[in-house]
Chain A
Amino acid sequence: MSAVAEASLRQRALAALQAIRPHLTIIADVEGLKPFETDALIAHRETPMLAVLPETEGQVRDIVKACRKLGVPVVTRGAGTGISGGAIPHREGLLLVLSKMNEILEVDTVGRTATVEPGVRNLQVSEAVAAHGLFYAPDPSSQLICSIGGNVAENSGGVHCLKYGLTVHNLLAVRAVDADGDALLAGSRSLDAPGYDLLAVLTGSEGNLGVITQATVRLVPLPERTETLLAGFATVREAAEAVGEIIGEGIIPAALEMMDRVVIDACEKCMHLGLPRDADALLLVEVDGGDAEARDALARVSAILERCAATEVRVAADDAERARLWKSRKGAFTALATILPDFYTIDGTIPRRCLPDVLEYVYELAAEYGLVVGNVFHAGDGNIHPCIFYDANKPGDLERGEELGGRILERCVEVGGTITGEHGVGIEKLRQMCVQFRAPEIAAFHDTKRAFDPDGILNPGKAVPALKRCAEWGGTHVHGGRVPRADIPRF
């Protein structure tokens, strides 16, 4: 678009937005737009044409209608904590910021549901219902600031989703505004809803199908008892096999996390936690439930860990010790940042049974590329986050790191896994979508998109690659798994 046409479109959009009643908060000046130019994929930046902060669903509908009429793209943003770039603004588009829609509308303690606006923070929900002995289970690391609307858009996970499921499993209903400006109610508060499962389709659709204006989430009773264990293993393979054994016995821990030598060393150097120094891998296991259930699970997990040749098993005696055990896991990424100047984290998911082999492959590759790779991840889910260390000042280091990352993701797909765990596709993994899917599935995604958004005004260019681009990228298949912008820290 020429500069003149752009300015004219901007004027028309501004006028249309200013005509909406009640009056909207509109940000049109470059300084004001600055904070919105990226989300947590900070290497990508774009200044939106305009930003707008509605307070009601009615305003959202009017905004979308106005944009549709003018052909102006709409990028929806929650708290801007997404790490795949789903909320990166569009240069010729409107940034629709939902942070002012931040009310908890209703808490039903009997039905155990909360109905919230999209800008409500994840942790805010649990805080609001804690007095009733309830919590909202999905807990992304960014839960202090990330918004429920963003969680729905990305189908976010967290440490506890092994037992409690992803966002989609904890949602009962959403209200969403489609590209026509119509508000849709998807899902219901009862077990089953007739019609196609639009709730599941909207969840994880990364702002491509509708703007989430309300979510009714499931609340879970706070467990009566929680037990936390830390186990050391002489080898990564043994630790990975222990993960399989625990799940194989039919135990579903609340969390089952793994850390390798690289991460243990970094944590020790940084935090002096007294972690087992002779272990090549640690498992952090948490079980919860009723009193007897949690004790029983603790005994069973302890027995399995011993049988799997754990070199040491520590059980937290109290909450303070539990917090100390978790500190290594939660502080791991900060600690890692002290090892080498740069690292980036891969996000892929594999069937659990493939963990030992895939991890071994990761180390083999690391040796082949002469790079250090550390692993700290949601082992119970098979959601791996290999961290590849490099020095951006060393010529060729970054490129080697990218290639290594690409090969890891390709292996994820090869063993029947996927290129995402909990971070979404956004703009970061568009290219990997072409490795994950064949043309008929990509085409079905586009058809679905058109069913909600015929003109493609909602978050264009994200989440699903154009078939044409897949064809172009097909030529670079060896690098098909590689992650662009590898210099971004991710958690």
Chain B
Amino acid sequence: MEIARELELGLPHGSVLVDREALKPYECDGLSAYRATPLVAAIPTDEAEVAAVLKVARRNKTPVVARGSGTGLSGGALPLADGILLSLARFNRIQDVNPTARTARVQPGVTNLRISQHVAPLGLYYAPDPSSQIACSIGGNVAENSGGVHCLKYGLTVHNVLRVRAINIEGDILELGSEALDAPGYDLMALITGSEGLLAVILEITVKLLPKPEVAQVIMASFSDVEKAGEAVANVIGAGIVPAGLEMMDKLATSAVEGFVHAGYDLEAEAILLAESDGTREEVADEIARMIEVMRASGATDIRVSQSDAERLRFWSGRKAAFPAVGRISPDYYCIDGSIPRAALGRVLSRIEELSARYGLRCANVFHAGDGNLHPLILYDANIAGELETTEKFASDILELCIEVGGTITGEHGVGVEKINQMCVQFATAELAQFHAVKAAFDPDGLLNPGKAVPTLHRCAEFGKMHVHRGAVAHPELPRF
């Protein structure tokens, strides 16, 4: 193959994969229902080699899909059959750590958790913590603008990145952002963050590190109905409190979990809230007291506070095991990822309950309530005729509801290929056209990850005809977390 030969000229032996067996591990990311075998995979070890790969791509007008750890849930790293898969797995060095400035300069292939582990002896950590943090790469986090349980207090990836070094399709190195508070010029660092590999390939990232909080404590509060729990969330935030984490689970979720991990949840409650506070001893004591007050005023029927770190972790264990637990009580489930303004939480949850009754399908809710990031889990059985279609309709209603109340179709998973049709619902033509203009400014020939994240206007026009299905997500049988 001509492309492979050209790549081999610029890369050392063993860095270019062409045979089917070797390419197998790259055929999908975390959205495993979508699969494609790339034409060739390149695994460069330094910037010059990345530049060489892009040069080959440019010369041959061959598309390039960059890949980190392949844990993305929306298919952003899905290969193209006629394209090069550019793996950044070998860019796995932590270049330096500056404890005074509290920054770390890392290569994109470094895993999220490794950064925190590396700086732990200094009493520091990197705040954004996607569930997949043990495996996911920091480059992928930047590409998807990942979140996590703690992003309510500490922000998404974009809020924790200071600088990004990237290479565009022309092979030019761009140094974006700065370690200082403000950077002149357009905020291209924010633009690159969350751009899902469509604008440039990320080569190096300087992240912000935070001092590890002195203590952390978690409240578990029970509520007699879901809407009240939703209102309690709004009230906590409304009281000016920013908890380190604020998660909600409804009865279906807690009952599924309790039999599985024995977290000690209140099984009588229609919904429970887990609210974590971290900081200094005084700060935490004060915040916990204030949150208890708000929860009581919001109608909490029972409140427990973790008395040790072991108990705190036990309370969290149920939340972390929720998805696998739900998988045990239903043959299939489908997880939705959408964001809504916090104030709409109670209203949206009641509507979901109504929809659940109307469609005759159970729906468990386990999610980042403080962020307004919903993850409703629709339980169904793919073997029952028509149930999948009903699930899709239900899911579509929920996503439309998110948009209707002023929210969005993504929380933390990105758009990728999974939600590309929903982009047509989320945005008007002017915004989509602007996205394409931005893309063209960085990548005029559309060689970087084409077909992902932003739908063509043509596609939206066609999609408009299938209006009834517009919220439906393909392959709802996939487990997502």
Residues in A lying within 8 Å of B, measured CB to CB: 108-113, 133, 155, 157, 161, 166, 168-169, 178, 180, 182-186, 188-198, 200-201, 203-205, 208-209, 220-224, 244, 248-250, 289-293, 295-296, 300, 349-353, 381-383, 412, 416-422, 424-425, 429, 432-433, 436-438, 440-441, 443-445, 447-452, 463-464
Contacts and interface: CB of A to CB of B under 8 A. Distances in A.
Contact of A195 (B176, B437, B442, B453): B453
B412 A185 contact: no
A195 B431 contact: yes
Nearest to A300: B280
A432 B409 CA distance: 41
13 contacts: A194-B414, A196-B191, A196-B438, A198-B438, A222-B240, A290-B286, A291-B286, A293-B279, A383-B182, A417-B180, A419-B184, A441-B176, A444-B172
Contacts, number: 247
Given A195-B415, A250-B211, A440-B172, A112 B184 contact: no
Contact of A200 (B187, B283, B287, B426): B187
A441 B373 contact: no
B180 A351 contact: yes
Contacts of A209: 186
B182 A155 contact: yes
Interface string B81-115: 00000000000000000101100000000000000
A184 B426 contact: no
A347 B239 CA distance: 37
Interface string B401-413: 0100011111110
Interface of B: 98, 100-101, 145, 147, 151, 156, 158-159, 168, 172-176, 178-188, 190-191, 193-195, 199, 210-211, 234, 237-240, 279-280, 282-283, 285-287, 290, 339-343, 371-373, 402, 406-412, 414-415, 419, 423, 426-428, 430-431, 433-435, 437-442, 453-454
Contacts of B183: 418, 420
A107 to B, nearest CB: 12
Given A195-B435, A441-B188, 6 more contacts: A188-B407, A189-B406, A190-B406, A353-B100, A382-B180, A448-B188
A460 B421 CA distance: 37
A250 B209 CA distance: 11
Q: Which of B175, B178, B186 has the most CB of A within 10 A?
A: B186
B150 to A, nearest CB: 13
Nearest to B240: A221
A351 to B, nearest CB: 5
Q: Which of B176, B406, B428 has the most CB of A within 10 A?
A: B406
B283 A293 contact: yes
A385 to B, nearest CB: 13
B185 A441 contact: yes
A418 B182 contact: yes
Contacts of A178: 430, 434
A448 B438 contact: yes
A292 B286 contact: yes
Contacts of B339: 188, 190-192
A447 B191 contact: no
Given A197-B158, A296-B280, A421 B407 contact: no
Given A166-B182, A448-B186, A184 B431 contact: yes
Contacts of A350: 180
A132 B199 CA distance: 43
Contact of B409 (A194, A383, A412, A448): A194
A420 B182 contact: yes
A416 B454 contact: no
B185 A463 contact: yes
Contacts of B185: 425, 433, 436-437, 441, 445, 463-464
A110 B231 CA distance: 10
Given A112-B238, A182-B430, A448-B441, A201 B191 contact: yes
B173 to A, nearest CB: 6
A269 B440 CA distance: 59
Q: Which 3 A-B pairs have the closest CB atoms?
A: A221-B240, A200-B190, A292-B286
Given A112-B238, A196-B438, A445 B411 contact: no
Contacts of B187: 155, 168, 197, 200-201, 203-204
A141 to B, nearest CB: 16
A436 B186 CA distance: 13
A110 B343 contact: yes
Contacts of A443: 172
A222 B238 CA distance: 11
Contact of A451 (B419, B428, B437): B437
A167 to B, nearest CB: 10
A306 to B, nearest CB: 18
B408 A200 contact: no
B184 A248 contact: no
B180 A108 contact: no
A111 B188 contact: no
B423 A192 contact: no
A190 B179 contact: no
Given A184-B430, A191-B371, A452-B434, A417 B186 contact: no
Contacts of B283: 289-290, 292-293, 296
A205 B174 contact: no
Nearest to B194: A197
A211 to B, nearest CB: 14
Contacts of A349: 178, 180-182
B195 A190 contact: no
Contact of A351 (B101, B373, B437): B101
B186 A204 contact: yes
B443 to A, nearest CB: 10
Contacts of B182: 155, 157, 166, 349, 383, 418, 420-422
Contact of B184 (A183, A194, A296, A425): A425
Nearest to A453: B437
B194 A196 contact: yes
A155 to B, nearest CB: 7
A197 to B, nearest CB: 5
Contacts of A412: 180
Contact of B426 (A194, A223, A248): A194
B173 A440 contact: yes
Given A353-B101, A417-B180, A451 B191 contact: no
Contact of B287 (A195, A290, A424): A290
A192 B410 contact: yes
B229 to A, nearest CB: 15
B186 to A, nearest CB: 5
Q: Which of A208, A224, A290, A443 has the most CB of B within 10 A?
A: A290
A317 B156 CA distance: 38
B441 A450 contact: yes
A296 B434 contact: no
A192 B145 contact: yes
A194 B190 CA distance: 13
B373 to A, nearest CB: 6
Contacts of B408: 188, 190, 192-194
Contacts of A185: 427-428, 431
A201 B190 contact: yes
A304 to B, nearest CB: 14
Given A290-B290, A440-B174, A464-B185, A248 B179 contact: no
Contacts of B156: 191-192
A111 B419 CA distance: 26
